[in-house]
Structures are given as C-alpha cells and as structure tokens.
Amino acid sequence: MSSLLCLLALPVSAGVQVGQSAPPISLPLLAGSSAATLSLASLQGKVVYLDFWASWCGPCRVSFPQLEQLRQQLGPRGFEVLAVNVDELEADALQFLEEVPVSYPVVRDGTGETPRRYGILGMPTGYLIDRAGIVRLVHQGYRKSDGDALRTAIVELLGDSPQ
C-alpha cells in the first residue's frame, strides 16, 4: 500500500519546467539534407519560442500564423521561433506547411525522442526560452486569444537590448 501511495505522489509529468535549462536539441531541418541540422544552442543569445507540433494538430493551424507574425515583428530585436515537428511521416508535415507556410526554421523528430525528453503531453506545446537558455514559460495548447499574452511575455524577455 505504501508503494502505491508513493506512485500516486509522483508528479504527472517529469517534463521540462519553468526555471530549468532547456535540454539540448540538434535535429535535421525539415526537407533538408541529412547534413542540414539546427541546434537550439546555435540560437543562444536570442529569445526562442520552441514549438512542438504535428500536422494533425488543429490548434497548430492557429498558432503558426501568429508565431510567424511575432517573428516578423520581433525578430530584429532578437526573437526566434524554432518549430519541432513530431509527425511520423515527413510528407504529412510538408503538406501542413504548404497550407500554413512559415519562414521560421522547422526541424523534425519523427522518432519522438525530443518530445519524450521534454515531457510533451499534447500538441502544440511551446517553451519560451530566454537569452541564457532558461525556460521562462511553458504553454500547452493554443487559442487565438493566446497571442497577446505570448507577445507580452516575449517583449518582456527581449527588454530594451536589440540583439
């Protein structure tokens, strides 16, 4: 009985939490050659919204245009979006991007290793990461009304220093 209580006391998700360093990521760019990879470390010094998504995710169709707009507006100040696709088939992700195009980098993890490391429970899940690589916000799901609050959080992390 006591071992059952211990199991029930465990947190539901052992995922990445606010205040922790973002785990490293180095994944192939979607539709890129196997040599074309992008790492989260290469974006250090920028405020990054790390967005886990899939082609079957309805809220992702809402988040992508808003994230694109935020990147266009705030990119010159040091903001970047890195989207991590978790579809099993690359063709599904490419079809989604034909319908909802973005200019920010999209990498692919069809194995599910990265979402497991981050403790992803649903799509989309986003992590707002500061210039030092620390997670400052974990955002699960996405509604159109989320855009303003996300923008406020990004602007706060960008501060006055345009990098």
Rounded Cα distance, 69 and 90, in Å: 25
**Ranges of H-type helices in the chain:** 2-9, 58-74, 90-99, 113-118, 146-158
Which pTM does this prediction carry? 0.88
Residue 139: give its domain's CATH number.
3.40.30.10
Residue 8: partners with Cβ closer than 8 Å, 6 or more residues away: none
Half-sphere exposure of 147 (CA within 13 A, CB side): 15
Residue 97 lies in a domain: yes
Domain count along the chain: 1
- Whether 157 and 49 have beta carbons less than 8 Å apart is answered as no
The alpha carbon of residue 63 and the mean position of all alpha carbons in its chain are separated, in whole angstroms, by 11
Residue 19 lies in a domain: no
Residue 56 lies in a domain: yes
Residue 11 lies in a domain: no
Q: Decide which of 14 and 68 is more confident.
A: 68
What domain range includes position 50?
24-158
Residue 51 lies in a domain: yes
Residue 13: partners with Cβ closer than 8 Å, 6 or more residues away: 119, 121
Tens digit of each residue's pLDDT (9 = 90 or more) over 92-110: 999 999 999 999 999 999 8
pLDDT of residue 163: 46
Residue 17 lies in a domain: no
Strand partners, 83: 51, 106
pLDDT higher than threshold 80 for residue 117? yes
pLDDT of residue 15: 87
Residue 92 lies in a domain: yes
pLDDT higher than threshold 80 for residue 36? yes
Residue 16 lies in a domain: no
pLDDT band at 31; cut points 50, 70, 90: confident
Calculate mean pLDDT across residues 103-122.
95
Q: Decide which of 50 and 110 is more confident.
A: 50
Calculate mean pLDDT across residues 114-125.
95
